[in-house]
Amino acid sequence: MKDKDSSLEVREGYVDFLKFVGLTAIIIAHINPPNWLFMVRSFDVPLMVILSSLLGRESYKRVASARNAKALDSALRFYSARFKRLVFPTWIFLILYFSLRLLITRTPYTLEYYIDSFCLTKYGIGYVWVILMYLYSALTIPIISRVTTKKTGVLGLTALYILYELAFYYRLGAESKLIDSTFYYLVPYGCVLTYLGYNYKRMHSGKYLVLFVSATIFILIGGYYWNTTGVPQQVQIAKYPPRAYFLSYGIAVSFALMIICERNCVHLFKCRAIQYISAHSMWIYLWHILVLDLYPALRLPDIWYIKFFGVYLLSVGIVFSINSVLDYLESWKKLRIIKYLRG
């Protein structure tokens, strides 16, 4: 979620603003909002993966250009940096989270549950599967960097996605945790969305074509579901794993927001609160998991909008407090672990 190294993020404030929007939408999903709002905010993870790959492109280009490094060396250094930035903070949080849970409940989870959680799959704690999607995106960036936006690249990606949809239709390997957690998420997030995010700045008028095609696919599939079931269907029915109905909605809304925000909302880009939340979005996201668990103990009304502001503000407050302590610690001693606690 955080990309300190990206100069693109500094130059183009709309990325910060949209990271704030994406994080907000993810938190909304976890506070039992009304059905209409739950549907509207379903673009959140696709948007964040697209933004992550857009920023990742700049980071990888700097790594690849440093010292005329070979492609393999550049990829390995990029993987190492991304792994440390994404996985280390998540593992630190999980250790803290499970330790606190054990102290409070005195009831441990199963070993399999712990393993699934630290592997960042949806079979464990659940929330951290989003981090795995960022990792898949980072994994494919060095490969996508060598794929052009011309017909060969687009056709190859389209063929891969069709094979993916066919594999899901016939439920190939769907009962396997390993295949379900890799192939069925690597293709849509690590290939399709990463390809779009990585090439976004090079698309120019192609952005509008992506928006039109994805919106059309969403409307057609949504119309089909409505016609066959008699009621409108949430895109969530096609989220695990992500299929065309969910992906087309996420891509359409993400590209619409990005196109609009490139040219508008400039005053929002300079808002310090938004910049702070964007810069620390990963740890805010992680801490909101614990706040959600502890929310009932606060005895606040279980009304979705009150819960939303309560969870959001407490999560930001925890991150701000921790960063203040880290600033103090760093003022007298440099510790390597501190950078992993700031994300």
Q: Percent of the chain scored above 90 by pLDDT? A: 76
How is residue 225 written in tokens? 């579901």
Longest alpha-carbon distance in the chain: 66
What sign has the CA pseudo-torsion 198, 57, 340, 77? Answer: positive
Q: Is residue 314 part of a domain?
A: yes
Q: How many angstroms separate the Cα of 61 from the Cα of each of 69, 100, 179?
A: 11, 40, 31
Q: Is residue 2 part of a domain?
A: no
How far is residue 297's CA from residue 300's CA, in Å, rounded to a whole number? 8
Q: Is residue 94 part of a domain?
A: yes
The whole domain housing 61 covers: 7-341
pTM here is 0.93
Q: Is residue 24 part of a domain?
A: yes
Q: Is residue 289 part of a domain?
A: yes
Q: Is residue 129 part of a domain?
A: yes
How far is residue 110's CA from residue 129's CA, in Å, rounded to a whole number? 18
The pLDDT tens digits for 66-78 are: 756 688 889 999 9
Q: Is residue 1 part of a domain?
A: no
Q: Is residue 97 part of a domain?
A: yes
The pLDDT tens digits for 2-49 are: 444 444 433 468 999 999 999 999 999 999 999 999 999 999 999 999
How far is residue 30's CA from residue 107's CA, in Å, rounded to a whole number? 24
Q: Residue 86 burial (CB < 10 Å; 0-12/13-18/19+)?
A: buried
What is the domain count for the chain? 1
